[in-house]
Amino acid sequence: MEKIKLKPCPFCGKHVEIYTVGNILTKSRSAVIKCKYCNVTCEVAAIKFTTDWCRAKVIEKWNFRCVEVKLKDENERLKDLLEEVLLIYGNGFANLKQRYLVIRIKAIIEERK
Ligand SMILES: [Zn+2]
């Protein structure tokens, strides 16, 4: 199986731990990723699949969530920045090009709401 690198915690940036619960003899199995600094966890459990399967799935889920959190944060910062630009220049743009820019910024902010 290809080894996929586990991303650090999206909230604090620290290294996270992964562990599995159960084995081939237990009724259910799971894999958990946990950040011991902010207690964020991510879990995948299964009845029909092995702990290796759970492990691969939880890494996939965790890494996807990390990207989502990062994008959401980036989005928020861009939205704040655009709103700031509008506050400063919203009424002061004189030429057509600048007014067009304001309209485009307003449209982006609307889309992101
Ligand atoms: Zn953390």
Distance 41 CA to ligand 1 centre (A): 9
pTM: 0.73
pLDDT for the residue numbered 90: 67
* pLDDT at residue 92, as a whole number: 64
CA of 12 to the centre of ligand 1 (A): 4
Q: b/e for 35-71, b at 16 or more Cβ within 10 A?
A: beeeebebebeeeeeebeebbbbbbeebbeebeeeee
- The confidence score (pLDDT) of residue 82 equals 81
Q: Residues 6 or more apart from 59 whose CB is under 8 A from it?
A: 4, 6, 18, 33
In the reported structure, the alpha carbon of residue 21 is separated from the centroid of ligand 1 by a whole-number distance in angstroms of 21
Predicted local confidence at residue 51, as pLDDT: 94
Q: In the structure encoding, which two tokens stand for residue 107, read together?
A: 């449209």
From ligand 1's centre to the CA of 79, what distance in Å? 25
62 CA distance to ligand 1 centroid (A)?
12
Grouped pLDDT means (10 residues each) for the chain, 113 residues:
80 95 91 96 94 96 94 87 79 72 80 70
